[in-house]
Chain A
Amino acid sequence: EVQLLESGGGLVQPGGSLRLSCTASGFTFSRYGMSWVRQAPGKGLGWVSTISSTGGNEYYGDSVRGRFTISRDNSKNTLHLQINTLRAEDTAVYYCAKDSNYGGNSGYFDYWGQGTLVTVSS
């Protein structure tokens, strides 16, 4: 059974930083691209970032490029998102999601974690 478990969310002041993590199990982690998708309170879904299966390629949405960094550790089946210079509009539940295709940055999101809430407020 595929499982994705996020951690690392919390309350942070504007301009602050957080590191989100996602621990995966139930599939061969190193074969698939992995993504972060966020959802602001009461709003829709927005893709944030994707990393290829090897970690060699990273992709970012325009609103987070330069502030967020995605990474992965295939030896530990773990995905990370370093989020810096946080803004109020970054407040959201951040979901870890598995890409349906091998490789990276393609396919739909076939499995999702439960999400971790990031709240940016002074």
Chain B
Amino acid sequence: DIVMTQSPDSLAVSLGERATINCKSSQSVSFSSNNKNYLAWYQQKPGQPPKVLISGASTRESGVPDRFSGSGSGTDFTLTISSLQAEDVAVYYCQQYYNTPRTFGQGTKVEIK
């Protein structure tokens, strides 16, 4: 199984400041033949189901604010919130869909400082 490891486990950021979450996979989740990255980011607010923010490592889903961006390839990926808003308080998960089982990172809790 591909192990997904996120860092940090939690972070506190001031409103309007940048938040950066890292995700590392135990093996590459990118296909060089098609230049695609099989990595998604989800946001889960308290008491709610997860919501996909980004797929393909960097493609924002419809309706996701552009302050959310994703980058990376191979084994190292990053989710950036460029200017943290109060409504962004949540746990964020990365997930690989390169192969089965589709595995998640352990989550990163983002709070307001």
The residues of A with any CB-CB pair to B shorter than 8 Å are 44-47, 50, 59, 61-62, 95, 100, 105-110, 112-115
Q: Is the CB of B97 within 8 A of A46?
A: no
Nearest Cβ distance between residue A111 and chain B, in whole angstroms?
A: 8
Give the total of B residues in contact with A, Cβ under 8 Å.
21
Q: Is the CB of B49 within 8 A of A110?
A: no
Main secondary structure, interface of B, reads loop
The residues of B with any CB-CB pair to A shorter than 8 Å are 40, 42, 44, 48-52, 55, 61, 93, 95, 97, 100-107
A-B contact count (CB 8 A): 50
CA distance A59 to B1 in the complex (A): 14
**Quick one: which of B50, B100, B101, B107 contacts A109, CB cutoff 8 A?**
B50
CA distance A59 to B100 in the complex (A): 8
Question: Chain A residues with Cβ under 8 A from B42's Cβ?
Answer: 45, 109
The 3 lowest CB-CB distance pairs between A and B, nearest first, are A108-B40, A112-B49, A45-B104
CA distance A50 to B43 in the complex (A): 21
Nearest Cβ distance between residue B97 and chain A, in whole angstroms?
A: 5
CA distance A105 to B97 in the complex (A): 9
Q: Is the CB of A47 within 8 A of B101?
A: yes
Chain A: CB-nearest residue to B55: A108
19 more contacts with CB within 8 A, not counting A108-B95, A108-B97, A114-B48, are A44-B105, A44-B106, A44-B107, A45-B44, A45-B50, A45-B93, A45-B95, A45-B107, A46-B104, A47-B104, A59-B100, A59-B101, A95-B50, A100-B55, A108-B40, A108-B55, A109-B50, A110-B52, A114-B49
